[in-house]
Amino acid sequence: MKQSLKMIFDATVLTNGFRKNDSRSGIFFVASNILRELLKRSDVDVCLYVSPEKYSEELRLKKEIYQNVPFVHNQSNVFFNSLAKILNKFWLVYEKYPRNFLLKKISAAGIIGVQGFFRKVIKIRSNNENVKNAEVFFSPVYKVPPFVRQNTGLRNYIIFYDAIPFVNLNCYTSTEWANFLRDIISSVKRTDKIFYISNHTKKDMETIFPYLTESRSSVLYLAANNNFKQISDCEILKHIREKYQIPFKKRYVFSLCTLEPRKNLVRAVRCFMTFVQKNHIEDLVWVMGGGHWDSFIKELQKNGVAWDSKYVVQAGYIDDEDLPALYSNAEWFVYTSQYEGFGLPPLEAMQCGCPVITSNNSSLPEVVGDASIMIDWDSDEQHIEAYEKYYFNKELRKENSRKGLERAKMFSWKKTVDKMVEIMKRNI
């Protein structure tokens, strides 16, 4: 009988699930879906690792979610459990008060002190059978930790999601992700294996960092969750309209993204307002999922657009369970981003049978294929033409809905993990 692949899975990012919603990033969902598929398999034995400074959250993962999965650290030690509770108290104070508040500064010092203690002592507790017997270490985001580096028998795997901080977009403003990613890249050894989430990301990363060579990298496409499917239940669709205050007598276009400049939302909405005014359209609105409305309206006005709320429904934060119905009932979905590492929202929309308009750049053609209208992200004219094509051509909407459903079948978390495990086994 063939032995199971023995894997240490870095679950540190999954501790964000215990924090606020904005901590549950796309990477959080990628990690949780990959782990879910791995735990279904009989040919993989998974042991979870959590960074020592997240020890208190590790206890919660063990108790509340992954009760039957072994962890690298031994949670039975009462002394460590007590320290974890102390760390939690520091966190509560830290999150409660303003940045310049004295207690916040004291709490920060306490957190750093306790975390430093964990880092030193955890080394003793990491030398257990799960570590000794492991064959591969997999990280969905963070760099390989020191205790793994010390185990030269382990094959190490890490995922890179995009090259956005290193591509000249002019609109990328956050240095935090850039520094974080650069730190990970600098830690990569020549023996490490790399997964990219698209061929475009792979090409960009290997162009910018040539030592990330072809021979040790592979592409792993992401997937939409199974709950993204066509919803036709009238009561559900009615409830969604009521919840997000979408007019019952109007059809709607849907968008879902942050207000980050590269998402190109200001242009997309501006062109929509031009489109409805030009064609004297009264039965269509734009439903926009997201927040920070004041800054968005100011951006529109800065671009010479007279804001008129009758054209746009400010849906705000969308609950995950409501997304399939919102996609399903939309006339079409717009995602004309300047750059994406993969582009999950268009895939989610296609899986719900919603026609898509997306950009013809970066990784997006790999996701949508010929199942959407693809345009230049920076062309107002092409945005307006795409809106007109869908609005005035019901058959085109039906055709791209059908194509999208077929295209979406190419992607699943099972396929992602099947390929991942196959590569790992081949390289042992």
DSSP 215: G
pLDDT score for 83 = 58
The string over 245-262, giving b where at least 16 C-beta atoms fall within 10 Å of a residue's C-beta and e elsewhere, is ebeeeeebbbbbbeeebb
Q: For strands 136-139 and 312-316, give the pairing.
A: unpaired
CA dist., res. 83 & res. 50, Å (int): 16
- Position 303 pLDDT exceeds 90: no
Q: Indicate the pTM of the whole model.
A: 0.85
> How many beta carbons lie within 10 A of that of residue 358, not counting itself?
27
CATH 3.40.50.2000 domain extents, the chain: 5-73+126-223+413-426, 234-408
Segment 20-27 shows an average pLDDT of: 60
What is the radius of gyration, based on Cα positions, of the chain?
24
Q: What is the per-residue DSSP string for 91-105?
A: HHHHHHS-TT-HHHH
**Pick from 126-130, 358-362, 406-410: least confident:** 126-130
Segment 121-150 shows an average pLDDT of: 78
SS3 content of the chain, % helix, strand, coil (to 5): 50, 15, 35
Map tokens 């990330």 to a residue: 212
Map tokens 């899986």 to a residue: 351
CA dist., res. 84 & res. 78, Å (int): 10
CATH fold group of domain 234-408: Rossmann fold (3.40.50)
For residue 170, what are the β-bridge partners?
none
Residue type, 107: S
- Position 45 pLDDT exceeds 50: yes
Alpha-carbon torsion angle 344, 294, 96, 20, nearest 10: -10
**Pick from 13-27, 54-68, 70-84, 386-400: least confident:** 70-84
Q: What is the per-residue pLDDT across 59-85, written as a single tens digit (0 to 9) for each?
A: 788 888 898 999 887 544 445 555 555
Q: What is the per-residue pLDDT across 190-221, written as a single tens digit (0 to 9) for each?
A: 889 999 999 999 999 999 888 887 668 999 99
Confidence of residue 56 (pLDDT cuts 50, 70, 90): confident
* Contacts of 395 by beta carbon, 8 Å cutoff, 6+ apart: none
pLDDT score for 345 = 96
Q: What is the per-residue pLDDT across 90-128, written as a single tens digit (0 to 9) for each?
A: 555 555 555 555 554 555 555 555 555 555 555 545 456
**Pick from 97-106, 235-244, 249-258: least confident:** 97-106
For residue 335, what are the β-bridge partners?
358
- CA distances 56 to 14, 86, 115, Å, are 13, 9, 11
What percent of the chain stands above pLDDT 70? Answer: 80
**Helix (H, G, I), strand (E, B), or coil: what is residue 213?**
coil
pLDDT score for 77 = 45
- Position 139 pLDDT exceeds 50: yes
CA dist., res. 157 & res. 84, Å (int): 29
Residue type, 425: K
pLDDT score for 166 = 85
pLDDT score for 174 = 65
Confidence of residue 158 (pLDDT cuts 50, 70, 90): very high
Structural contact between residues 28 and 13, judged by C-beta atoms closer than 8 angstroms: yes
Confidence of residue 359 (pLDDT cuts 50, 70, 90): very high
Q: What is the per-residue pLDDT across 169-186, written as a single tens digit (0 to 9) for each?
A: 665 556 777 788 888 888
Q: What is the mean pLDDT of the chain?
A: 85
pLDDT score for 205 = 92
- How many helices (H) and strands (E) would you count in the chain? 17, 12
DSSP 144: P
pLDDT score for 419 = 98
> How many beta carbons lie within 10 A of that of residue 99, not counting itself?
8
CA dist., res. 23 & res. 28, Å (int): 8
> Residue 82, by phi and psi: left (phi above 0), alpha (psi -120 to 50) or beta?
alpha
pLDDT score for 220 = 97
- Architecture of the domain delimited by 5-73+126-223+413-426: 3-Layer(aba) Sandwich (3.40)
